[in-house]
Amino acid sequence: MRHQFQTTPELLALCQENRWGVAEAALASEVELSGKPEAEIRARMEAYYLQMKDSVRRGLEITQRSRSGLSGGDSRRVLAHASGESVGPLGAAFERCIAYALAVLETNAAFGRIVATPTAGSSGVAPACLLSWQEQRQAENPRAAHGLFTASGIGKIIGHGACFSGAQGGCQAEVGSASAMAAAAICELEGGDPGQVVNAAALALQNTLGLICDPIGGYVEAPCMMRNGLFAVHAFGAAAVSLSGVQSIVPFDEVVATLREVGNRMPRIYKETSEGGLATTPTGLRFKSKPLQQK
Amino acid sequence: MGIFEIIGPAMIGPSSSHTAGACRLGWVAGRLLAEPPRRALFHLHGSFLATGRGHGTQEALLAGVLGVTPDDERIIEARDFAERSGLEYEFFPVDLGPQAHPNSVRIVLEGSTRQVETAGSSVGGGSIRIFEIDGLACEMSGVLEALVFWHQDEPGFLARLTAVLSSVQVNLAGIRTSREQRGARAITVVEVDGAIPTEISGVFSRMPSIRRSVIIPPLPAS
pLDDT tens for each residue of B86-142? 999 999 999 999 899 989 999 999 999 999 999 999 998 889 999 999 999 999 998
Instruction: Tell whether A84 is covered by a domain.
Output: yes
Using an 8 Å CB-CB cutoff, list chain A residues near B51: 215, 218, 272-274
Instruction: Tell whether A108 is covered by a domain.
Output: yes
CB A218 within 8 A of CB B53: yes
Which 42-71 residues of chain B touch chain A by CB within 8 A?
Answer: 44, 46-47, 49-56, 71
B30 with B117, same domain: the answer is yes
pLDDT tens for each residue of A54-91? 999 999 999 999 988 999 999 999 999 999 999 999 99
B106 with B160, same domain: the answer is no
When pLDDT is cut at 50, 70 and 90, the band that residue B55 belongs to is confident
Distance CA B63, CA B23 (A): 6
B114 with B147, same domain: the answer is no
Instruction: Tell whether B10 is covered by a domain.
Output: yes
Residue that finishes a domain, picked among B82, B110, B133: B133
B12 with B111, same domain: the answer is yes
Using an 8 Å CB-CB cutoff, list chain B residues near A228: none
B31 with B129, same domain: the answer is yes
| Residues sharing a CB contact under 8 Å with residue A91, sequence separation 6 or more, in sequence order | none
Which CATH number belongs to the domain containing residue B17 in this structure?
3.30.1330.90
CA distance A156 to chain B (A): 6
B120 with B197, same domain: the answer is no
Query: At A105, is the secondary structure helix, strand, or coil?
Result: helix
| Residues sharing a CB contact under 8 Å with residue B113, sequence separation 6 or more, in sequence order | B35
Instruction: Tell whether B138 is covered by a domain.
Output: no
B221 with B169, same domain: the answer is yes
| A119·B17 Cβ contact <8 A | yes
Which CATH number belongs to the domain containing residue A133 in this structure?
1.10.4100
CB B23 within 8 A of CB B15: no
B164 with B187, same domain: the answer is yes
Residue that finishes a domain, picked among B100, B133, B166: B133
CB A111 within 8 A of CB B73: yes
B64 with B153, same domain: the answer is no
Instruction: Tell whether B31 is covered by a domain.
Output: yes
**ipTM tops 0.90:** yes
Task: State the Cα torsion B198-B201-B176-B130 to the nearest 10°.
Answer: 70
Instruction: State the best of B4, B15, B104, B171 to mutate against chain A, taking most chain A CBs within 10 Å.
Output: B15
Q: Is A1 on the interface with B (CB under 8 A)?
A: no
CB B7 within 8 A of CB A182: no
Which 96-115 residues of chain A touch chain B by CB within 8 A?
Answer: 107-115
Instruction: Tell whether A292 is covered by a domain.
Output: no
B119 with B191, same domain: the answer is no
Give residue B91's domain range. 1-133
Measure CA of the first residue to CA of the last residue in chain A; give whole Å.
52
Residue that finishes a domain, picked among B102, B133, B164: B133
B149 with B87, same domain: the answer is no
- By Cβ distance, the residue of A45, A164, A218 closest to B125 is A164
How many domains, in total, are found in chain B? Answer: 2
For chain B, the average pLDDT equals 93
How many domains, in total, are found in chain A? Answer: 1
Which CATH number belongs to the domain containing residue B187 in this structure?
3.30.70.260
CB A228 within 8 A of CB A107: no
pLDDT tens for each residue of A198-241? 999 999 999 999 999 999 998 999 999 999 999 999 999 999 99
Instruction: Tell whether A10 is covered by a domain.
Output: no
Measured in degrees and rounded to the nearest 5, phi and psi for residue B136 equal: -110, 140
Closest of B129, B208, B222 to residue B176, by C-alpha: B129
Per-residue pLDDT, A295: 41
Strands (E), B14-159: 39-45, 88-93, 103-110, 115-124, 127-133, 136-140, 145-152
CB B61 within 8 A of CB B42: yes
Q: Is B159 on the interface with A (CB under 8 A)?
A: no
Which residue in chain B has the smallest CA separation from A26?
Answer: B3
CA distance A15 to chain B (A): 17
B57 with B112, same domain: the answer is yes
Instruction: Tell whether A127 is covered by a domain.
Output: yes
Any idea what DSSP says for residue A173?
Answer: I
Cβ atoms < 10 Å from Cβ of A44: 18
Using an 8 Å CB-CB cutoff, list chain A residues near B52: 218, 292
Measured in degrees and rounded to the nearest 5, phi and psi for residue A251 equal: -70, 160
- Inform me whether the pLDDT recorded for B221 exceeds 70: no
Give residue A59's domain range. 31-285
Q: Which residues pair with B110 in a beta bridge?
A: B39, B115
